Structures are given as structure tokens and as C-alpha cells.
């Protein structure tokens, strides 16, 4: 059973930076795609960024140019570097992985951006 554990969340000032980490219990090399989602209070969970096994990345328009997703297959960890954060970036961020069409989720971690 794959486990994903997020860390690095917390409180950050608007315009600041934060790096989220997602540590997998096993190898992420076999994961076809890994992603970060976020969910603000009262809103639908939405994709933020994805990275495929061959290194292709994709970003939601609202984070493009500010956030960077990366994966370290040696450390079995996926990162989300968040720069120039805005109050609207506040929410619970979830790590997601897909392997053989099976989806895995972390429990989520709260990011709060103060004005």
C-alpha cells in the first residue's frame, strides 16, 4: 500500500516562499504522474501542478510562473516550490500519485498565506 505524507506547510506572508514536500513510502519511479492539488474552504479540490515520469510538467494558470513542481526519484519525494504566494493560495494541499490507473492521496497539509 502506497503512503504519501506531505510536509512543509504552515503560515507564510504574502509575497513569501514555501516549499512543500511529499514523501512516498515506496519508490516513485513507477508512478506515471505525481501532482499537487489544493482545496480552499468551501471550494472544490483543484489541480495545481503535475509532473510525469518522463519529466513533463504542467501547471494551473493561477500558479504558472510562481510555483515549481519537481520529483526526486532517489529520495522518493515530490516537491512544490511556492514563490510569490498570494492570500488566495491559502488552502489544504494534497499530494497525488497515479500508477497503473490507480490514484493515491496524501492526507493534506494546510498552507495559510497572510495579507
Q: What is the pLDDT of residues 14-64, one digit of tens each?
A: 999 999 999 999 888 888 899 999 999 899 999 999 999 989 999 999 999
The grid coordinates listed for 93 are 494541499
pLDDT reported for residue 16: 98
Calculate the CA dihedral of residues 77, 96, 70, 5 and round it to 10 degrees: -30
pLDDT, position 26: 83
pLDDT of residue 104: 95
CA-to-CA distance for 13 and 106, rounded, in angstroms? 25
Report residue 102: phi and psi, to 5°: -100, 130
Amino acid at each position: 500500500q502506497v503512503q504519501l505524507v506531505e510536509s512543509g506547510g504552515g503560515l507564510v506572508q504574502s509575497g513569501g516562499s514555501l516549499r512543500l514536500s511529499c514523501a512516498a513510502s515506496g519508490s516513485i519511479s513507477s508512478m506515471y504522474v505525481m501532482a499537487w492539488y489544493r482545496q480552499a474552504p468551501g471550494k472544490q479540490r483543484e489541480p495545481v501542478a503535475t509532473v510525469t515520469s518522463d519529466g513533463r510538467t504542467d501547471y494551473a494558470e493561477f500558479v504558472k510562473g510562481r510555483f515549481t513542481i519537481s520529483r526526486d526519484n532517489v529520495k522518493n519525494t515530490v516537491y512544490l516550490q511556492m514563490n510569490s504566494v498570494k492570500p488566495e493560495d491559502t488552502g489544504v494541499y494534497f499530494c497525488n500519485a497515479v500508477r497503473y490507473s490507480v490514484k493515491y492521496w496524501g492526507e493534506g497539509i494546510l498552507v495559510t498565506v497572510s495579507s
